């Protein structure tokens, strides 16, 4: 079965994961909750590659979790900001954070 088929699954967990349940997407959203909104910020913060980020941002905008707002028209530049729908993923990020704090202690520090 293809992962994308999950968007119409009977289970709401599966439907949610069809959007945010891949590598990187929740990390982008974490950065959004930390106040980031621009392509280069996400790149620097997460360490993901540029074309993967571009792909994920497109999907997030298509699914109504992020909104693409122009902040410059001369060279076209955009902010990616959480919609209300996106904001409501905060509890999910918080529970994942709490679990990580408790069950995933840091062994060595990393810069990224």
Residues of this chain that interact with a copy of itself (CB under 8 A) are 1, 3, 5-24, 26-27, 30, 46-48, 64, 85, 88-89, 91-104, 106-110, 112
Considering the complex, state which of residue 79 and residue 93 has its C-beta at the smaller distance from a copy of itself.
93
41 closest CA partner among 11, 86, 71: 71
Q: What is the DSSP letter of 13?
A: H
- Segment 65 to 94, residues that bind DNA, using CB under 7 A: 74-75, 77-79
28 closest CA partner among 106, 82, 102, 96: 82
**Interatomic CA distance for residues 100 and 92, integer angstroms:** 12
User: Using CB distances below 5 to 8 A depending on partner kind, what does residue 85 bind out of a copy of itself, DNA, none?
Assistant: a copy of itself
**Interatomic CA distance for residues 47 and 1, integer angstroms:** 30
- Segment 15 to 54, residues that bind DNA, using CB under 7 A: 22-24, 38-41, 48-52, 54
Considering the complex, state which of residue 75 and residue 105 has its C-beta at the smaller distance from DNA.
75
């Amino acid at each position: 079965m293809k992962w994308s088929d999950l968007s119409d699954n009977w289970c709401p967990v599966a439907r949610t994961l069809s959007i945010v349940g891949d590598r990187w997407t929740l990390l982008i959203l974490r950065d959004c909750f930390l106040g980031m909104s621009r392509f280069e910020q996400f790149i620097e913060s997460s360490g993901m590659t540029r074309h993967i980020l571009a792909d994920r941002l497109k999907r997030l905008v298509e699914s109504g979790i992020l909104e693409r707002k122009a902040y410059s028209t001369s060279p076209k530049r955009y902010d990616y900001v959480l919609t209300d729908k996106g904001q409501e993923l905060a509890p999910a990020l918080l529970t994942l954070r709490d679990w990580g704090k408790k069950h995933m202690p840091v062994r060595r520090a990393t810069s990224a």
